């Protein structure tokens, strides 16, 4: 890894809002982020989850029912990166706001491999509210195909400072 790399590297693209004239919500696509081996190693050390499916390509490939092509990223690491991408894209809106997550629902749809490029698309209310709900989809692009790997929803209380 070169000196300029970070464990979870962000791509240059910025968040892109899409609005519909007749809707009270808008859809936003975040910047992209890649989860590299250094980030995977740090997550393993932090959580103690050293299941070989996350460490050894041959172990992951040896699970015939899963048909994996190599080791996979922890689902919770992908989820935390997705929430961070959402938080960063909302940073200008939340400059003087403390968001407190009240509840969440999350589904793991497909695996993520090290070095997959993650992107998050989410919906948010057009007008700021004290209780905000976000519908979230996490994508990777693999073999020129966009794949949904996780979906979820988050409700947060937004306290102004």
pLDDT digits (tens, 9 = 90+) for 100-155: 889 999 999 999 999 999 999 999 887 767 888 889 999 998 877 899 999 999 88
Is 106 inside any structural domain? yes
The DSSP call for residue 143 is T
Is 100 inside any structural domain? yes
Is 1 inside any structural domain? no
The percentage of the chain sitting over the pLDDT mark of 90, rounded to a whole number, equals 55
Cα angle vertex 126, ends 33, 154, to 5°? 55
Is 107 inside any structural domain? yes
Is 77 inside any structural domain? yes
Is 156 inside any structural domain? yes
Contact, 88 vs 104, CB < 8 A? no
Domain limits for position 87 = 8-160
Contact, 123 vs 20, CB < 8 A? no
Look up the CATH number of the domain holding residue 65.
3.10.129.10
- Reported pTM: 0.80
**How sure is the predictor about 23, in pLDDT bands with cuts at 50, 70 and 90?**
confident
Question: What is the spatial distance between Cα 10 and Cα 91, in angstroms, rounded to a whole number?
Answer: 15
Is 3 inside any structural domain? no
Q: How many separate domains does the chain show?
A: 1
Is 2 inside any structural domain? no
């Amino acid at each position: 890894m070169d000196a300029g790399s970070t464990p979870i590297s962000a791509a240059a693209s910025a968040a892109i809002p899409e609005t519909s004239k007749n809707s009270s919500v808008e859809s936003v696509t975040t910047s992209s982020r890649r989860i590299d081996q250094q980030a995977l190693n740090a997550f393993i050390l932090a959580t103690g989850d050293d299941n070989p499916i996350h460490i050894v390509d041959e172990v992951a490939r040896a699970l015939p029912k899963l048909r994996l092509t190599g080791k996979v990223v922890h689902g919770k690491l992908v989820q935390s990166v997705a929430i961070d991408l959402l938080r960063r894209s909302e940073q200008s809106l939340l400059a003087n706001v403390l968001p407190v997550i009240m509840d969440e629902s999350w589904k793991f749809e497909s695996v993520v491999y090290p070095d997959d490029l993650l992107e998050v698309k989410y919906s948010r209310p057009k007008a700021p509210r004290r209780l905000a709900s976000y519908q979230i989809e996490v994508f990777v692009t693999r073999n020129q195909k966009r794949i949904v790997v996780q979906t979820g929803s988050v409700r947060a209380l937004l306290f102004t400072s």
